[in-house]
A and B are shown apart, each in its own frame.
Chain A
Amino acid sequence: MPVPTDGNMPDQMHDMSTGESASGGFFVDSVVRMSGNKLVILSLLVLALLIVSAIFAPWLAPYDPTEQVLADSLQGPGRKHLLGTDEMGRDILSRIIYGARISLSVGFVSQLIACSIGVLLGSLAGYYGGLADTVVSRAIEIFAAFPELLFAIGIMFVLGPGVINVFIALGLLSWTQYARLVRGQVMQLREMEYTQACIVCGGSNARIIVRHLLPNCMSTIIVLVTLGIPGAILTEASLSYIGLGVQPPTASWGQMISTAQQYISFYPYYSITPGVAIIITVLAFNIFGDGLRDALDPRLRD
């Protein structure tokens, strides 16, 4: 087999290194396996419903979530307001639907930031080793040494409240998990024969990492993202609860619980509804993440 001079690998080698099989591919197999788990499918449906309602909130919400009708404050559930109204006379259902936007976007965007930082640093540390590994590993240890919520509070104090800053704070908070796992996997994969073959064939370092090592870490990364999202949602709710997250009048589930708690003795439904929304979302992501991990784990194949 001639060694390609432009650094590109032959197709056969590429297929082998990315783990695709002749029967339709690793990911297709995983999806088929996952479809047999009813609980995972249910959680996927719940998540799809949440995402759809977040995207189409302006059409689905019966009222403007910030519209105040003070004369109608603290109304119980009824025909006009299905889940009642809050202390400012705003429709609770509309605020929960719009709150899904915040929770989901915080979940996805923060994990995207964390994933980008973690995968980049983890792969560099794992592949190059030496000084790069030492620097990244120490950084991981330093960042991971802080208690999560306290660290998030500290970052929010520095950056100030607001949804963009929540993205950044949560991104900075959780990149270490990605970096640690990717570093470990890349270190293992670097010693694999196909990686050595690629090096011998003249593949550039960047190409080896991007085309051959990272695709093999993809299942781990996907599972981490899926399980990281509910954590981020809960942390956002905690930050908003203590007034450091999303600022009023933007609807956020954590903030709704914070406000509702003073009425818990008189209007329990007000606290319960955003709480239930958080529980359902976090549970759905966790079940889906677990199912995904099982489906993508080659050791659990039939």
Chain B
Amino acid sequence: MKKIGSGAVSVILAAALLFGAVRSDAAEKQVLRYGAINMRSTLDMQFNTYPWVMDISDHVAEPLMMFDYTMKLIPVLVKSLPTPTDDGRVYRFELKPGIKFHDGTTLKASDVKFSFERMFIPENGAINSYIADMIVGAKDMLAGKATELAGFKIIDDLNFEITLENPYAPFLASIGTSYGTIYPEKACREAGKDWGLTTYFGTGPYKITKFDADNGFYVERFEDYHGTKPKLDAIDFIFVEDPNTRRMEYESGNLDVIQLDATLYPEYSKSRLSSEIGSYTPQGTIFVSPNLQDERLGNVKVREAISLAVDRKVLVSDLMNDTVSLATTFIPPSMLGFDGTVPAYERDVERAKQLMAEAGYGDGFEVDGYIRSEQMNGTPGRTLLAIQSQLREIGISINIVQVDAASWSDIRRSGKIPLYIGTWYTDFPDPDGFINSYLYSSNARTLSNNYNSPEFDKLLDDARSTSDSAKREDLYKKADRLASRVDFAVVPLFHENMFYLCKPYVKDLHKSPDNTFHFFDAYIER
């Protein structure tokens, strides 16, 4: 009996030591827990525009070059940033040798070609092809007239050349976004439509080791990473749908970093967590997006009436507690093409009513205002509620329709949302990635805005094809004025500041002004 007892004690002690060792190992492991939102979307960046998905994808797969946290474009997969030929049309790239994908295969120029061509195959239905459709042959592929990208020439496994139709100054910035991510050809072909849904990898500093589309993604450091090794051993992207639960999880220590909606900033800035609040100013705009194919909203007088009836000053000061800045144009400040001379939008309810009457809607009308359910209690939802109240003064009654993220993507892409609060942020600091990606006719169609102005499109085409910065700036100013001041294709409201909560033990979280979270430099020091 005694022997059995001492034996049991020995087993327990051994087990305790073993588990102790495991626990200690786990404790030493640097794992950052990020409270993420599940967009119910593929991780494949050719098929979504969500910053929440970029947060994950950017750690796993990389474009040829990307922006660092100071918004400087740096080479990632290429040895250096190429300089175009004198005519501004041809770029020659050289890949760094020996770059490994997470499956152990080596990156080749053919993978890059495959990744670009993939976004132009019409059957694939990529939604971000605008970032590179200025490459010679891209439009032919999109139109189904070609199966190969004529402007992409492979020289050898490491060298390739890209030829553009016309000079396009922000070309490197454009393909340096998440949408230009390079995928392994063989694995991507084998996965087919499951790429991004059940399988996803690239050359990034982290590889996915837990692929759980419902609960989150666990990524661990890729030991064969070609660049500077990240300090964190792993990042746990934990999906927490409800913003309040996310905050409670953060406060109880189960999450290390979360985003904080600007509407809650005043409360948190007065709380004990005030020292844990970080902020950044993304280049973006919050606006009313009317669907120009809607019979009522297709009337420019109605859209101008909406602009005149909105009380932007109240939105800025009372709704957003002065955490945002008033919008005077669609293009945000600090971006090329922003026109600082444009005066603030005026508010004139009587004139708005008169315009409604002139448009034949003196008695007003009802319109559905769509919103993603998870945004209802955040900035877009509160803005929609305020706009709903303000537009009632001119007889426009907005029926709020809440939809889940997956339905939202489908309905918006079908062009059937009559009105919503747009939240648009640039992917690279150039107006082409901002105004073009939203309002150019082919893009506006997939975003339920349906602005289709040949004059506007021409201004953007002209701006794309010139490398003269002053001329480009002038063209973008004209285009912006046309869309937001003459045609009222969008009704800009304000430019946001964004906030997040970060535990004090998370160091070197360099938040860039773009709208994604990159933890490349971060580490934990308790």
Q: Which residues of A contact B (CB under 8 A)?
A: 66-68, 70-71, 73, 87-89, 160-161, 242-244, 247-249, 258-259, 261-266
Q: Can you name 15 A-B residue pairings with CB atoms under 8 Å?
A: A68-B389, A71-B314, A71-B317, A71-B318, A88-B385, A88-B386, A247-B402, A248-B400, A249-B385, A262-B243, A262-B264, A262-B377, A264-B244, A265-B267, A266-B267
CB distance from A73 to the nearest CB of B (A): 7
CB distance from B322 to the nearest CB of A (A): 12
CB distance from A89 to the nearest CB of B (A): 7
CB distance from A265 to the nearest CB of B (A): 8
**Alpha-carbon gap, A242 to B373, bound state (A):** 8
Q: Is B267's CB under 8 angstroms from A247's CB?
A: no
Query: Which residues from B are CB-within-8-Å of A73?
Result: 318
Q: Which of A68, A88, A262 contacts B247 (CB 8 A)?
A: A262
Q: Is A262's CB under 8 angstroms from B402's CB?
A: no
The verdict on B405 contacting chain A, using a C-beta distance below 8 Å, is no
Q: Which of A66, A87, A247, A248 contacts B263 (CB 8 A)?
A: A87
Q: Which of B244, B318, B373, B402 contacts A70 (CB 8 A)?
A: B318
Q: Which of B335-351 contact A (CB under 8 A)?
A: none
**Alpha-carbon gap, A247 to B400, bound state (A):** 6
The verdict on B319 contacting chain A, using a C-beta distance below 8 Å, is yes
**Alpha-carbon gap, A265 to B377, bound state (A):** 15
**Alpha-carbon gap, A148 to B267, bound state (A):** 37
Q: Which of B264-311 contact A (CB under 8 A)?
A: 264, 267, 271
The verdict on B187 contacting chain A, using a C-beta distance below 8 Å, is no
Q: Is A161's CB under 8 angstroms from B264's CB?
A: no
Interface of B is mostly: helix
Q: Is B399's CB under 8 angstroms from A247's CB?
A: yes
**Alpha-carbon gap, A228 to B399, bound state (A):** 30
Query: Which residues from B are CB-within-8-Å of A87?
Result: 263, 382
Q: Which of B231-265 contact A (CB under 8 A)?
A: 243-244, 247, 251, 261, 263-264
CB distance from B276 to the nearest CB of A (A): 14
Q: A70-B319, A161-B402, A262-B243 are in contact. Are A243 and B386 (CB under 8 A)?
A: no
Q: Which of A160, A261, A262, A264 contacts B401 (CB 8 A)?
A: A160
**Alpha-carbon gap, A247 to B271, bound state (A):** 32
**Alpha-carbon gap, A263 to B244, bound state (A):** 8
Name A255's closest neighbour in chain B (CB-CB): B376
Name B390's closest neighbour in chain A (CB-CB): A68
Name B273's closest neighbour in chain A (CB-CB): A265
Name B245's closest neighbour in chain A (CB-CB): A261
Interface residues on B, range: 20 to 34
Chain A CB within 10 Å — which of B243, B401, B402 has the most?
Answer: B402
Q: Which of A68, A160, A243, A264 contacts B376 (CB 8 A)?
A: A243
**Alpha-carbon gap, A265 to B318, bound state (A):** 21
**Alpha-carbon gap, A195 to B103, bound state (A):** 80
Q: Which of B353-388 contact A (CB under 8 A)?
A: 373, 376-377, 382, 385-386, 388
**Alpha-carbon gap, A258 to B314, bound state (A):** 25
**Alpha-carbon gap, A248 to B377, bound state (A):** 11
**Alpha-carbon gap, A244 to B317, bound state (A):** 31
**Alpha-carbon gap, A242 to B261, bound state (A):** 19
Known interface pairs A161-B401, A249-B389, A265-B271; 16 further A-B residue pairs with C-beta atoms within 8 A, sorted by A's residue number? A70-B319, A71-B314, A71-B318, A87-B382, A88-B385, A88-B386, A247-B400, A247-B401, A248-B388, A248-B400, A249-B388, A249-B400, A262-B264, A264-B244, A265-B267, A266-B271
**Alpha-carbon gap, A160 to B271, bound state (A):** 39
Kindly list the 7 A-B residue pairs having the minimum CB-CB distance in the complex, ordered from nearest: A70-B318, A243-B402, A243-B373, A266-B267, A262-B244, A71-B318, A68-B389
CB distance from A158 to the nearest CB of B (A): 12
Query: Which residues from A are CB-within-8-Å of B376?
Result: 243, 248, 259
Q: A87-B382, A249-B385 are in contact. Are A258 and B377 (CB under 8 A)?
A: yes
Query: Which residues from A are CB-within-8-Å of B388?
Result: 248-249
Q: Is B264's CB under 8 angstroms from A88's CB?
A: no
**Alpha-carbon gap, A262 to B317, bound state (A):** 21
Query: Which residues from B are CB-within-8-Å of A248?
Result: 376, 385, 388, 400
CB distance from A85 to the nearest CB of B (A): 12
Name A74's closest neighbour in chain B (CB-CB): B267
Query: Which residues from B are CB-within-8-Å of A68?
Result: 385-386, 389
Query: Which residues from B are CB-within-8-Å of A243?
Result: 373, 376, 402
CB distance from A77 to the nearest CB of B (A): 17
Query: Which residues from B are CB-within-8-Å of A66?
Result: 389
CB distance from B420 to the nearest CB of A (A): 14
**Alpha-carbon gap, A160 to B403, bound state (A):** 9
**Alpha-carbon gap, A244 to B373, bound state (A):** 9
